[in-house]
C-alpha cells in the first residue's frame, strides 16, 4: 500500500543525503529505499508537498512517518532563528527542504561510532554490512541488528564488516549497553547536559559523536557537532584572521551565535560546505 503524507517543504535529497543518516539509497527514478525504524519502505515526493511511502499493509501509520521525517517541525520558523549572515543565507538556499530526522537511538549511535575517519559512502557500506551479517532477514533486506543481537559476536567478527579499529569501540559499547551501564531509553527524559554525559561514558563516543547522536536521535537542537569540515568552515568563514582557535572557544561561539537551533544550522552549513568544496560543485 502507499501512504500519502502532507509534508510541507521537504527535500529527500537534502535530507537523506546530507550525512545525518546512513540507511537510505536513491534509485534511478529518484525514489529512495530505506528504513523507518525497523520497517522497510520506499519513498518519493509528489508535487513537492506530499511524501509517498510504499509499505506493507498495516506496518506503519501516518503519524510514525511524520515523526521520523520531522514533518511536524515548523521549518520556516526554525530557519528564521538562524543568523542571517552571508554564509548562512547561502547554506539555507543550498540546503532547501533539509529536515533533521528522528532516528532510532541505537542505530544512530552505532553508525556514528563507526564514522570516525570514514566518508559518508563508507559509513553507508558499514550500515549495509552490519545488516547483512547480523540483522534479521526480511524480504526487502535485513533489519539493523540490535545491541542484544550483537552482544554474542567477537571483535574479529565485527571487523569483517569493514569496521577496522572502530570494532573495538563498538564491542565495548555493546557490552556497556548490555550491562545497563547506560540506558539509551532513559536519555529521552534527561536534560541536554545529562544526556550528553551519559553518551560520553560509552567507548568510542567523544564530543563530536555525542553531539551527533543528541542532534539526530534525541532531537537536541542545540547540539552542534564540530567535525573537520565544520572546523575548517568556521575558521575560514567566521575567523579568517585568527591564528589559534581552541575547540572550547569555538563550541561556545556556536552556541551563542547560531542560537536555539544551532544544531540544525550546523547541518545546513555542513551540507553546503561539503558540496561547495567538491570538484563538481
Partner DNA sequence: CATCAGGCTTAAA
Partner DNA sequence: TTTAAGCCTGAT
Interacting residues with DNA (CB under 7 A): 18-20, 112, 115-123, 159, 162, 164-165, 168-169, 202-210, 212, 227-229, 246-248, 270, 274
Nearer to DNA, 77 or 117 (CB): 117
Nearer to DNA, 63 or 200 (CB): 200
Q: How far is the CB of 112 from DNA (least distance, A)?
A: 7
**Rg of the chain taking only CA atoms, in angstroms:** 19
Nearer to DNA, 78 or 202 (CB): 202
Q: What are phi and psi of 8, to 5 degrees?
A: 65, -160
Q: How far is the CB of 122 from DNA (least distance, A)?
A: 6
Q: How far is the CB of 2 from DNA (least distance, A)?
A: 29
Nearer to DNA, 5 or 120 (CB): 120
Where b means 16+ CB within 10 Å and e means fewer, 210-225 reads: bbbbbbbbbbbbbbbb
Q: How far is the CB of 261 from DNA (least distance, A)?
A: 18
Nearer to DNA, 59 or 97 (CB): 97
Nearer to DNA, 60 or 222 (CB): 222
Q: How far is the CB of 74 from DNA (least distance, A)?
A: 24
Nearer to DNA, 55 or 127 (CB): 127
Q: How far is the CB of 223 from DNA (least distance, A)?
A: 12
d(CA 6, CA 13): 17
Nearer to DNA, 189 or 280 (CB): 280
Q: How far is the CB of 130 from DNA (least distance, A)?
A: 14
The number of CA neighbours under 13 Å toward the Cβ of 34 is 25
Q: How far is the CB of 72 from DNA (least distance, A)?
A: 23
Q: What is the DSSP string of the chain?
A: -EEEEE-SS--HHHHHSSSS--S-EE-TTS-EEEEETTEEEEEEEETTTEEEEE--TTS--HHHHHHHHTTTS-HHHHHHTS---HHHHHHHHHTTT-------HHHHHHHHHTTTT--HHHHHHHHHHHHHHHSPEETTEEPPPPHHHHTTS-HHHHIIIIITTHHHHHHHHHHHHHTTSS-TTGGGGS-HHHHHHHHHTSTT--HHHHHHHHHHHS--TT-----HHHHHHIIIII-TT-S---HHHHHHHHHHHHGGGHHHHHHHHHHHHHHHHSTT-
Amino acid at each position: 500500500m502507499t501512504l500519502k503524507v502532507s509534508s510541507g517543504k521537504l527535500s529527500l535529497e537534502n535530507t537523506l543525503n546530507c550525512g545525518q543518516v546512513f540507511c537510505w539509497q536513491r534509485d534511478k527514478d529518484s525514489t529512495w529505499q530505506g528504513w523507518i525504524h525497523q520497517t522497510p519502505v520506499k519513498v518519493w515526493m509528489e508535487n513537492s508537498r506530499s511524501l509517498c511511502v510504499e509499505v506493507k499493509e498495516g506496518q506503519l501509520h501516518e503519524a510514525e512517518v511524520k515523526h521520523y521525517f520531522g514533518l511536524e517541525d515548523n521549518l520556516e520558523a526554525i530557519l528564521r532563528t538562524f543568523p542571517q549572515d552571508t554564509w548562512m543565507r547561502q547554506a539555507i538556499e543550498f540546503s532547501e527542504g533539509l529536515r533533521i530526522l528522528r532516528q532510532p537511538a541505537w542505530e544512530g549511535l552505532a553508525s556514528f561510532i563507526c564514522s570516525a575517519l570514514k566518508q559518508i559512502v563508507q559509513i553507508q557500506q558499514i550500515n549495509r554490512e552490519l545488516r547483512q551479517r547480523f540483522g534479521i532477514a526480511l524480504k526487502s533486506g535485513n533489519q539493523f541488528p540490535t545491541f542484544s543481537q550483537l552482544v554474542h559476536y567477537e571483535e574479529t567478527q565485527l571487523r569483517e564488516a569493514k569496521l577496522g579499529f572502530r570494532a573495538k569501540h563498538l564491542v565495548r559499547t555493546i557490552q556497556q549497553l548490555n550491562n545497563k551501564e547506560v540506558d539509551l531509553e532513559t536519555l529521552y527524559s534527561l536534560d541536554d547536559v545529562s544526556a550528553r554525559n551519559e553518551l560520553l561514558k560509552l567507548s568510542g563516543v567523544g564530543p563530536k559523536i555525542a553531539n551527533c547522536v543528541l542532534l539526530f536521535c534525541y532531537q537536541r537542537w542545540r547540539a552542534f557537532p564540530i567535525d573537520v569540515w565544520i572546523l575548517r568552515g568556521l575558521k575560514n568563514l567566521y575567523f579568517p584572521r585568527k591564528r589559534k582557535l581552541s575547540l572550547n572557544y569555538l563550541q561556545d561561539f556556536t552556541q551563542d551565535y547560531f542560537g536555539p537551533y544551532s544544531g540544525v544550522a550546523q547541518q545546513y552549513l555542513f551540507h553546503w560546505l561539503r558540496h561547495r568544496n567538491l570538484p563538481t560543485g
